[in-house]
Amino acid sequence: MATESSASTIWRGSLEKGSGTTHPDSGAFPDVEVTWAARTARSAGKTSPEELLAAAHASCFCMALSHELSEAGHEPEQLNATATVAFVPGEGVESSHIVVNGRVSGIDQSQFEDAANSAGQNCPISGALTGNIEITVDATLEG
């Protein structure tokens, strides 16, 4: 059975001058304001669909990488991932680049990179994006 997640947005006004409020149905985070300016110029205190996508991709990636490492017998102490989603007005979302640093005992850099690249290809959010945008991963194992 599928698990469903929902969020709602109310938008008022034109694209350039208007704004919206996005509300996660779970209540896990407060309503956030979205604007075209936040999408193209990064105005403070507001978000964009791409920033929300980056948050989803980073968290999904960490879950997939944690699972992959744990299944191999190397439960991670900590994973820190940042996803950066590139948006070009008029063209759309072009890429998601994930940078991950991790503390994991019993593996080397090469093994960590392999696991991170696998997670980058196989997490569910990557699966939804594959074939539509470029997905890249840079992984560093901390000592």
pLDDT in tens, 75-132: 999 999 999 999 999 999 999 999 999 999 999 999 999 999 999 999 999 999 999 9
Residue 91: what are its φ and ψ, rounded to 5°? -120, -35
Give the model's pLDDT for residue 41.
83
Strand ranges (E), 26-77: 32-34
Strand partners, 142: none
Model-level pTM? 0.92
Give the pLDDT score at 129: 96
Which two structure tokens, joined as six digits, stand for 69? 């490492």
Mean pLDDT of the chain: 94
